[in-house]
């Protein structure tokens, strides 16, 4: 009964293609998403194999009288297989992880948009140097909005002035720390429009929970209109 439930749960989990991860909204997030699917499927396969081995052993070697079983202390073939197989699995997963990491952290040859992201206790500032636009919001009032165009790469230059914060939008499937004195960079290429909630993902003090922001991915023309409106509002040329 219990094994049937476990198999049922595993099958149900495997039937969901995202395996619980948010649907990615960026190209880089798509790479992480594929890696996650690979890891999850590998875990399903290992789990199913182990369950099968346990069931086989329980049935095949159940007590059958008082005869003394084989007293051999080792089985070289089994030992080699159960040592080599996990090592091989770890090597494959490691190579896939390094490949994905390279894809995700590779800086775009020519980023179209640049946004200077500054985190502070307790809020965010998004500065668009080319457009002369600055969006600020502190302590959730109002929640600052990061607006980026869909289909083009936006380079986020991450800075912190006080303590360590972390830029996190679940749908981007990436998290990057903002460390005082370090110039971290995150290139994102949104693949679909929408509004995605973001937050600071590094405990940074008493009001850390207030560090929410919103990310709005819009079509390029809409982005241009928005930038022009913001620049006019703040009196920039």
State the residues that interact with Cu ion by CB under 5 A.
Answer: 165, 200, 204, 211
CB of 179 to Cu ion, least distance (A): 12
Strand partners, 167: 176, 200
Which residues, including other chains, have CB under 8 Å from residue 174's CB and lie 6 or more apart?
26, 28, 29, 32, 104, 168, 186, 188
* Least distance to Cu ion, CB of residue 197, Å: 15
Of 186 and 227, which CB lies nearer to Cu ion in the complex structure?
186
User: By C-beta, is 33 or 213 nearer to Cu ion?
Assistant: 213
Tell me the closest approach of the beta carbon of residue 205 to Cu ion, in angstroms: 7
H-assigned helices in the chain: 2-15, 27-60, 76-105, 220-233
Give bridge partners of residue 156 from the DSSP assignment.
115, 186
Instruction: From 36, 41, 52, 43, select the one nearest 4 (Cα to Cα).
Output: 52
Nearer to Cu ion, 156 or 211 (CB): 211
Alpha-carbon span 63 to 74, nearest angstrom: 21
Residue 198 Cβ, how far from Cu ion at the closest point, in Å? 11
Asked if 147 and 218 touch (Cβ cutoff 8 Å), the reply is yes
When the beta carbons of 118 and 154 are compared against Cu ion, the nearer one is 118
| Preceding amide of 113 cis, omega within 30 | no
Question: By C-beta, is 68 or 206 nearer to Cu ion?
Answer: 206
Task: Give the DSSP letter string of 39-104.
Answer: HHHHHHHHHHHHHHHHHHHHHHTS--SSPPPP-----HHHHHHHHHHHHHHHHHHHHHHHHHHHHH
To the nearest whole angstrom, how small is the minimum distance from the Cβ of residue 114 to Cu ion? 22
Beta carbon nearer to Cu ion, 172 or 226: 172
Nearest-approach distance from CB 119 to Cu ion, in angstroms: 6
Closest CA to 118 of 142, 95, 137: 137
Question: Which residue, 32 or 211, is less far from Cu ion as judged by CB?
Answer: 211
Cα–Cα dist 201/165, whole Å = 7
Q: Judge if the upstream peptide bond of residue 44 is cis by omega within 30 degrees of 0.
A: no
């Amino acid at each position: 009964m219990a094994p049937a439930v476990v198999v049922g749960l595993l099958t149900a989990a495997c039937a969901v293609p995202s395996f619980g991860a948010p649907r990615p909204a960026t190209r880089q997030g798509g790479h992480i998403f594929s890696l996650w699917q690979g890891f999850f499927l590998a875990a399903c396969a290992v789990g199913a194999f182990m369950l099968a081995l346990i069931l086989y052993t329980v049935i095949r070697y159940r007590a059958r009288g008082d005869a003394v079983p084989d007293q051999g202390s080792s089985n070289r073939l089994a030992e080699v297989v159960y040592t080599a197989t996990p090592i091989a699995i770890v090597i494959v997963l490691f190579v896939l992880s390094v490949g994905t990491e390279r894809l995700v952290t590779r800086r775009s040859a020519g980023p179209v948009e640049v946004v200077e992201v500054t985190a502070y206790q307790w809020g965010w500032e998004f500065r668009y140097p080319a457009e002369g636009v600055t969006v600020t919001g502190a302590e959730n009032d109002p929640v600052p909005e990061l607006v980026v165009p869909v289909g083009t790469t936006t380079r986020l230059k991450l800075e912190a002035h006080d303590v360590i914060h972390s830029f996190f939008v679940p749908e981007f499937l990436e998290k990057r720390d903002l460390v005082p004195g370090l110039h971290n960079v995150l290139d994102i290429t949104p693949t679909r429009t929408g509004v995605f909630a973001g937050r600071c993902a590094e405990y940074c003090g008493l009001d850390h929970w207030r560090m929410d922001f919103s990310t709005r991915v819009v079509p390029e023309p809409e982005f241009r209109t928005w930038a022009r409106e913001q620049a006019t509002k703040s009196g920039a040329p």
